[in-house]
């Protein structure tokens, strides 16, 4: 299949939401984050508006889309956060307001969201890295390599910048990430009682660490930067 991976544009938002709602159909975390009838245009528009607001407010975000080169259709997308410099502790500790819903739906959304944020704070404070925060491929286009192409874009970026890559894997994503060299460092558990389900949900916290050679390159790049800074001062 002829697949292209490019930066997404704001004008792509409706297509990105169609991909997202198809990929995460009946996913309780997604339902809590984007409540309402998932098939309705209004629910998807509202999700798109919130996503756009977040994108505009957070300079670390990179949206990449995967397009079928033959039809031009967007069939998948990835949302990355590039933390090239150390991210301040207060940012890791920040718990976003769940202000798009109320009552029990709000409590369920907070269970998923805050467990994820807490895990990121636990593991990644003080570590510049690239975070994969969303990966989704339209149901009708899965197992054709789109997921691999989208993650591959991030791995090449991270390699060039000598950064490790982190993510939280659903059951569906775990085999793909494992095959690309990620390994599990922890597990997020959302108890059945906390999402009104009948089983505990598990997400694998995964890391693709820096290769030894990249560590050396990063250290020497930092040394060069320091030397350049000190020569400016002299």
Ligand X SMILES: CC(C)(COP(=O)(O)OP(=O)(O)OC[C@H]1O[C@@H](n2cnc3c(N)ncnc32)[C@H](O)[C@@H]1OP(=O)(O)O)[C@@H](O)C(=O)NCCC(=O)NCCS
Residue ranges that bind ligand X, judged by CB under 6 A: 23-24, 76, 135-137, 142-148, 169-170, 172-173, 175-176, 179
Minimum CB separation from ligand X for residue 68, in Å?
12
Task: For 37-68, give one letter per residue: b (16+ CB within 10 A) or e.
Answer: ebeeeebbebbbeebeeebeeeeeebbbbbbb
Nearest Cα to Cα of residue 49 among 7, 9, 17: 17
Least CB distance to ligand X at residue 70 (A): 16
Query: Minimal distance in Å, beta carbon 142 to ligand X?
Result: 3
Residue whose Cβ sits closest to ligand X: 147
Among residues 135, 57, 122, 121, which one has the least CA distance to residue 92? Answer: 121
CB of 133: closest distance to ligand X in angstroms? Answer: 9
Which is closer to ligand X, CB of 33 or CB of 162? 33
Nearer to ligand X, 130 or 169 (CB): 169
Going across the sheet that includes 74-83, the strands are 3-7, 61-68, 74-83, 129-137, 165-169, 201-208, 183-190
Helix (H, G, I), strand (E, B) or coil at 87: coil
Which residues sit opposite 156 in a β-bridge?
none
Instruction: Compute the least distance from the CB of residue 219 to ligand X, in Å.
Output: 31
Of 28 and 145, the one with the shorter C-beta distance to ligand X is: 145
When the beta carbons of 143 and 232 are compared against ligand X, the nearer one is: 143
Return the number of the residue (55 or 174) whose C-beta is nearest ligand X.
Answer: 174
Nearest to 199 by CA among 233, 221, 171: 171
């Amino acid at each position: 299949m002829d697949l292209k991976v490019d930066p997404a544009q704001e004008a792509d938002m409706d297509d990105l939401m169609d991909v997202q709602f198809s990929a995460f159909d009946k996913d309780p975390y997604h339902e809590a984050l984007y409540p309402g009838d998932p098939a309705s245009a209004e629910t998807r528009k509202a999700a798109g508006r919130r996503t756009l607001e977040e994108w505009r407010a957070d300079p670390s975000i990179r949206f990449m889309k995967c397009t079928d080169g033959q039809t031009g259709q967007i069939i998948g997308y990835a949302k990355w956060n590039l933390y090239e410099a150390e991210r301040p502790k207060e940012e890791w500790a920040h718990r976003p307001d769940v202000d798009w819903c109320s009552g029990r739906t709000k409590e369920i959304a907070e269970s998923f969201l805050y467990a994820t944020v807490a895990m990121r704070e636990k593991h990644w404070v003080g570590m510049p890295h690239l975070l994969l925060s969303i990966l989704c491929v339209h149901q009708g286009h899965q197992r054709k390599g789109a997921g691999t192409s989208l993650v591959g874009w991030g791995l090449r970026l991270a390699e060039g910048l000598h950064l490790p890559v982190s993510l939280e894997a659903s059951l569906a994503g775990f085999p793909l990430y494992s095959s690309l060299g990620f390994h599990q460092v922890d597990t997020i558990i959302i108890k059945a009682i906390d999402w009104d389900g009948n089983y505990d949900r598990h997400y694998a916290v995964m890391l693709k660490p820096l290769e030894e050679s990249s560590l050396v390159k990063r250290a020497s790049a930092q040394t060069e930067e320091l030397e350049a800074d000190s020569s400016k001062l002299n």
